[in-house]
Structure 1
Amino acid sequence: MIHQSIALTPEARSTALAQALQALETEFALRSEFPPEVLAEARRAIADFERPAIDRREIELVTIDPATSTDLDQAVHLARNGDGYMVHYAIADVPGFVALGGSLDAETRLRGQTVYLPHRRISLHPESISEDAGSLLPGQDRSAYLWAFTLDAGGSVTHTALERAIVRSREKLNYVDVQAALDDGTASAMLQLLREIGLKRIELERARGGASLRIPSQEVECVDGTYVIVADAPLPVEDWNAQISLMTGMEAARIMLQAKVGLLRTMPPPAEKDIRIFRLQAKALGTVWEPEQPYGEFLRSLDLADPRQLALMHQATSLFRGATYTVLDGEVPEDIVQAAIAAPYAHTTAPLRRLVDRFALLICSYAVHGQEVPAGVREVLPQLPDLMNTSNRIVNNVERAAVDTVEAASLAHRVGERFAAVTITGTEDSGNGNHRTGGTLQVKDPAVMARFEGTAEAGMQVEAELVHADMASRKVLFRIVGP
């Protein structure tokens, strides 16, 4: 993560900005507080929690997350197994706290997922569960759904097991420190295996034709009372760790498909029209894309330090459209693949933060033990796609609004100043011969993305004058003044 502190005016440092961010909760109708009956049910669930009989506390699990995370969904342990590997992956036992049909279950369906705002986190579950009793905190005995994957020398899964067990995480690690330890050679043998297995899983993804977007995202954090724009440039260790989660989701999908019951995360392949336009954009930006090279491999080859290739990566979002959830209940539909992963896939590793994962864990657990999935679980499945799609839309909108609010507040006193920037979209980016003025640019410092007026192609390094910045409307506008 690259933290760029925003220099706020005295007005922006006042309560105005805090109030504007808090107002997002009302504007987007976020469920900021839990009803008393939900909190009461959560307390009872913690007090009456039934621990599993299986004890796996001997497995030396660790969590790897952003440094400030306390809602810890996953813990991992990796070891050599002959010429292959053994991967244990513990997922928080949220189903053990949420009774199907109860008030807590109903509340989580209304929320869909945790919302991360600059000034607070609006959790999917009460904090007594999400940040305490259900979180895989270090040194604490916790119930978890424990996956055990046997991998061959190439990193492919040869056997999968799943059980509900008591586990204990040994340490709470964070991405920055783990990456530093791997880079300077001081990382533990297990963390070195994370890199080794992660790289092999990436090679398998490449062979499948999978693809991923590597766009530095923008988020807002509150650091010591100052709002900070965070430009998220993923570290290599985040990719390697994500491969363990992706592997789990792929195995969960396989189990659901065999049982013909569950919920897959699906996405269609890019439309030929979008591929054709993207090829024209690549050509216009001076990047060679060989005709036989898959689009996923082409995206991996892009150098994001090159402004034109960074702009092209932003343009690639047009290839990743139509993601949704597909229900399995007695039959397998035709479209079951998540095209970016190039395999069937299910969300199943973040039940503290995402509603659908709780049901995926339950279904997989029943299926691997040869048990019938209860009717009560099946009855919920058709509702989940709409609940999750609605939640995703709200969260994307509110997170963008939070970033826009802080950007506008931070720049309001700098109207008329000029900034170095890179154009992300520009005058000739449609690929069909149509021209338009204006587009989107990325300011280098502070890390702000905004609209511009004027004429410029995508991927140009430009000088832009700030002509408008208004916190109330969340609008920021630049004008191109020169290369």
Structure 2
Amino acid sequence: MALVVRASGGSDFASLRAEFELPESFPAEVLAEAGAVAGDPAEFAGGREDATDLPFVTIDPPGAKDLDQAVLVERRRNGGFRVRYAIADLAAFVPPGGPIDREARRRGQTLYLPDGNVPLHPPELSEDAASLLPGRIRPAVLWTIDTDSGGEPTAVDVRRALVRSVERFDYETVQAGLASGEEHPSIAALPELGRLRRGLAVERGAVELQLPEQEIVGDGDGGWLLAQRPRTDVDAWNAEISLLTGMSAAAIMLRAGIGVLRTLPDADPGAVDWLRRSASALGIEWPGETSVAELLAGLDPERPESLALYAGTTRLLRGAGYTAFDGNDPEIATHAGIGAPYAHVTAPIRRLVDRFATEVCLAVTHDRPVPEWVRAALAELPDLMNASDNRAARVERACLDQVEAWILAEHVGRTFDAVVLRAEENRAEILIEDPPVLGRCTGTGFPDSGRIPVRLTSVDPVARKISFERA
């Protein structure tokens, strides 16, 4: 039975918002500019392709209003696929150097908290005028990517357009439709292309860790509970469309010698050797010719030893950042976790860098100079985004720690079943499966993997700290 904490007695996130100095609203000048630019979509028609007849659909978490992407996947007569990916055109609403632009640079990205978001852009834009809401004509940046029968891209086009989404889906609804054979025609080809792209990702060396993801959800009665975020095939396939677009964008920018990439250096050979020793200790066979990506793709994520190896593999994925370049080769051009060069261009409502990277792609593919306001911002974007990513990670972890502490506060002394993720001499990182809690446990003689009983020894809701010992 899930443990629930009621939202009473101060069980909200106001103190956390204050601790991280999260803004409660937008400055008046930002709201005024947002009101001024959120005009009639017909005002954006000049120079845009009319793609309002294409039946785009969106796939987002339930209740989402900040809809960045709309997708249409079709089979082509030659056996390949045509992906049309419409991305919200934030640059159409954000005057360079104006109040919205300055505030967005300060925020960096939308922060998601259980009791409400801290948006990158004013809701008048992010949840209305710029959002790809169903039935509404919206300005968008339309990516058209043709692939061969194996899923490899053969042609890429990017241009400004007007689009109109016909349906808003969430992941579980799409998954259920596919299972029942009642999938929407606009995404009927998504499973086949998604599987092909997943296979190509493994061939590239992309590293996917199927660790359980914690999620804070309301219980419908004013309380919070922890759950494991479901990992559906639709999640993976939809992510592959975004990755395909981001890799296409990176290729465009690298050919032009200007842009900003999302990068991750290759893992140190010593880290890979360490992972091989870990696999051996866990009893996981790792043939010498098998890559890390191939090994991970073949593991059963339900087995404790697989979870332990996933946790260890995070050592290979350290050092992610952003690399900007203009007229020179970037210091690092690839993302080791993806196995290819990659750029963020598919979430401009929620992430600052996407707006600038998209403008580079639009300019160079249409033989136009990159706008000066984009060039001027390139050098500062890595620092802005790194700081924003760091804050987002800290806020997310703090929210999870807080709810864990609230939920477990009345259960000190209770014994839970746990999976060992990483063992050291006198402590271990563990995963409690019900409720899904990540924590540290003290004791001795920890196995390298497997399930063990642990006892909750202390909870400090104010400091957001919990402690376990091996039972």
TM-score (norm 1): 0.94
Counterpart in the other structure of 2:229: 232
Counterpart in the other structure of 2:310: 313
Cα distance in 1, alignment partners of residues 331 and 177 from structure 2: 45
Q: Displacement of 1:221 after TM fit?
A: 2.6
Letter in 2 for 1:480: R
Q: Displacement of 1:47 after TM fit?
A: 2.9
Q: Displacement of 1:334 after TM fit?
A: 4.4
Contact 1:119 1:221 in 2 (8 A): no
Q: 1:296 aligns with which of 293, 296, 314?
A: 293
1:371 maps to 2:360: no
Secondary structure at the aligned position of 1:16 is classed as coil
Cα distance in 2, alignment partners of residues 358 and 180 from structure 1: 33
Q: Displacement of 1:445 after TM fit?
A: 1.1
Q: Which runs of 4+ in 1 moved over 4 A?
A: none
Counterpart in the other structure of 1:433: none
Q: Which deviations, in whole Å up to 9, do the C-alpha atoms of 1:191-224 show, x marking residues without a partner?
A: 3310001111112222222222222111323342
1:14 maps to 2:8: yes
Aligned length: 465
Q: 1:142 aligns with which of 138, 149, 174?
A: 138
Cα distance in 1, alignment partners of residues 467 and 14 from structure 2: 24
Q: 1:103 aligns with which of 99, 104, 112?
A: 99
Unaligned runs of 5+ in 2: none
Contact 2:39 2:129 in 1 (8 A): no
Counterpart in the other structure of 1:479: 469
Call closer, same or farther: CA 1:223–1:134 in 2, change over 3 Å: farther
Contact 1:414 1:466 in 2 (8 A): yes
1:261 maps to 2:258: yes
Q: Which deviations, in whole Å up to 9, do the C-alpha atoms of 1:56-108 show, x marking residues without a partner?
A: 11100000111121111000011121121111100001111111100110000
Counterpart in the other structure of 2:450: 460
Secondary structure at the aligned position of 1:229 is classed as strand
Where in structure 2 are the equivalents of 1:88-99 lying within 5 Å? Answer: 88-99=84-95
Contact 1:215 1:233 in 2 (8 A): no
Cα distance in 2, alignment partners of residues 227 and 62 from structure 1: 31
TM-score (norm 2): 0.96
Query: RMSD of the TM alignment (CA)?
Result: 1.4
Q: 1:394 aligns with which of 387, 391, 395?
A: 391
Secondary structure at the aligned position of 2:373 is classed as helix
Q: 1:31 aligns with which of 23, 26, 38?
A: 23
Call closer, same or farther: CA 1:259–1:22 in 2, change over 3 Å: same
Contact 1:31 1:111 in 2 (8 A): no
Secondary structure at the aligned position of 1:15 is classed as coil
Where in structure 2 are the equivalents of 1:339-418 lying within 5 Å? Answer: 339-418=336-415
Counterpart in the other structure of 1:157: 153
Secondary structure at the aligned position of 2:86 is classed as strand
| Percent of aligned pairs sharing the same letter | 43
Q: Displacement of 1:461 after TM fit?
A: 0.6
Q: Which deviations, in whole Å up to 9, do the C-alpha atoms of 1:321-342 show, x marking residues without a partner?
A: 1111111201122420111111
Cα distance in 1, alignment partners of residues 210 and 387 from structure 2: 25
Q: Displacement of 1:185 after TM fit?
A: 2.1
Cα distance in 1, alignment partners of residues 414 and 200 from structure 2: 48
Cα distance in 1, alignment partners of residues 207 and 442 from structure 2: 33
Unaligned runs of 5+ in 1: 428-435
Q: Which deviations, in whole Å up to 9, do the C-alpha atoms of 1:152-196 show, x marking residues without a partner?
A: 111111111111111000000111111112122222344331000
Cα distance in 2, alignment partners of residues 241 and 254 from structure 1: 20
Q: Displacement of 1:426 after TM fit?
A: 1.3
Contact 1:5 1:227 in 2 (8 A): no
Contact 2:177 2:183 in 1 (8 A): yes
Q: Displacement of 1:112 after TM fit?
A: 0.4
Cα distance in 2, alignment partners of residues 452 and 285 from structure 1: 19
